[in-house]
Amino acid sequence: MLILRLPRLSLFSVCLCFCMASLLPAVAIASGGDEDTHYDRISLLATASDSVDNDILETTLSVYREGNNPSVLSEEVNSAIQWAVGEAKKISGVTVQTMGYRTYPVYQQQRLSAWRVRQSLRLESKDTAALSQLIGQLQERLAVEQVRYRISAQRRNAVEESLIAEAITLFEQRAKLVAKQMGRRRYRVVQMNINTSGAPMQRMARAEISMMTDVRTPPKFEAGAQTVMVSINGTIELQLD
């Protein structure tokens, strides 16, 4: 006769197991109830845009020298940059930033053949006429790499705030129209995202820039405009009366 001996369970263990087993159906029911199903939700998109005049002219100029003596090359580059910075600081409202100083060797057939030294200067101003005059002057010793227009942060922020208000009004109008067409008198906004964007900064063509390095007369630039846009995408839920 085979006798199986089971481990003894305390009265507390038996009661605990019983209580946990009795709670399982309740937990399952509660978790199932949390998964709310939403109906009558509709996604909408509203956009508002405006053409804004660029108000800042920005340019990058550089000095480049090549030769056998890096110390002499550095002196020439530093002298040209210091001269350009001094001329730029004479003009009120021009922001000056030196950047991109670099010295590197040039090899031919795995042998050192020369040294190159280069540094850039970045200028920007809202006074485009004054900066254009300065660019023409600095071309005496520096080469123009890039010229572009952009919108100042102050002007962009002011335009975007106005467009946000316009886009929200349009979103509300479309939400009311949808609710009306669906036979509902009320709705609520479930989610709303506001996005801002603008056209890329206008740049001069490389051909125009290369031609400017050989002229001494002040170049003429047209500021132009770019489009600033605000888009709102969101979700509404139609309410039952």
Facing residues of 234 across strands? 44, 192
Q: Which residue has the higher pLDDT, 237 or 35?
A: 237
pLDDT band at 240 (very low <50, low <70, confident <90, very high): confident
Secondary structure of residue 149 in the 3-state scheme: strand
Pick the CATH number of 40-55+151-200+218-241 from 3.40.50.920, 3.40.50.1370, 3.30.110.170, 3.40.50.10490: 3.30.110.170
Q: Which residue has the higher pLDDT, 33 or 40?
A: 40
Contact assessment for residue 193 and residue 233, using Cβ atoms and an 8 Å cutoff: yes
Query: What is the average pLDDT across 38-67?
Result: 93
Facing residues of 150 across strands? 56
Secondary structure of residue 196 in the 3-state scheme: strand
pLDDT at position 36, please? 61
pLDDT band at 59 (very low <50, low <70, confident <90, very high): very high
Question: Quick one: which of 11, 73, 57 has its CA closest to 149?
Answer: 57
The CATH code belonging to domain 56-150 is 3.30.70.360
- Residue 196: is it exposed, middle or buried by C-beta count within 10 angstroms (0-12/13-18/19+)? middle
Domain with CATH 3.30.70.360 in the chain: 56-150
Domain with CATH 3.30.110.170 in the chain: 40-55+151-200+218-241
Does the structure show a pLDDT above 50 at 32? no
Does the structure show a pLDDT above 50 at 58? yes
CB 66: neighbour CB atoms within 10 A?
12
Query: What is the average pLDDT across 125-142?
Result: 94
Which amino acid type is present at position 138? L
